Amino acid sequence: MALQALIFDVDGTLANTERDGHLVAFNLAFKELGLDWVWSNELYHELLNVTGGQLRIKYYLKKYNTEFHHDDLDNFVASIHKLKTSIYVRLMDEGAVPLRPGVARLFQEARAAGLRMAIATTTTPANVVALISNTLGKEALGWFEVIGAGDVVPNLKPAGDIYSYVLDQMNLDASECIAFEDSRNGIVSATHANLKTIITVNEYTDTHDFTGAIVILNNLGEQDQPFEMIEGNPTESTFVDVAYLQELHAQHC
């Protein structure tokens, strides 16, 4: 069965939004609310094991800030996350986070080749819109047939719900697609939906277990900036383009 579609995670996969966007926004939100919470890069590394911003805050309170109490914790955490999202969008508007190497190029090449594209992420729709609009332009949102984001499904990654949702909306079988991820939770989610998955690691995920990935790379690469293959079959390709994706897809049908 021929390759028909590419499905992309967002945070860490398309851009280093975790370090340069979300972490900064969380700390700015805490400060604005008069909280003395400060998340270091090292702490955030661990907190990223929990998917979803509100669940991440609750995990932090349960493990690292046990003396903090609030009579209505759920609504308080929701208000923090709402403020953090608005700050994140502002950071995106200011151009704080560029796309990772090869991402914009691959989008254009996939469109030219007639491949369908979609997004499957646990981040909020507003965050997706902010990143895409401010790196590629608002019209680029139309490049994605489906944007599966936020709480459109009941269970976040590592559950496979978001990928199953996207596949259902596109009326595609998993065998016709390739997913792009950067984390352990991400590949577990994609694998639950039976998707073949390319991993591009980042500083938070380069030690994760990526069992099941069809290839593990440091990034998608550019013509003048070859990718580093961390794990995968030998290839003459030096950057991820449509021809390489078709090669990978054929190898793993």
**Alpha carbons 49 and 16: distance in angstroms, whole number:** 16
Active site residues: 9, 11
- Cα atoms in the Cβ-side hemisphere of radius 13 Å centred on 241: 13
Place of tokens 């805050």: 57
For residue 109, which of 1, 220, 234 has the smallest C-alpha distance? 220
Q: Cα–Cα–Cα angle for 82, 87, 90, nearest 5°? A: 130
**Alpha carbons 131 and 137: distance in angstroms, whole number:** 9
- DSSP for 89-150? HHHHHTT--PBPTTHHHHHHHHHHTT-EEEEE-SS-HHHHHHHHHHHH-GGGGGG-SEEE-G
**Alpha carbons 219 and 223: distance in angstroms, whole number:** 12
Distance, C-alpha 142 to centroid of its chain? 18
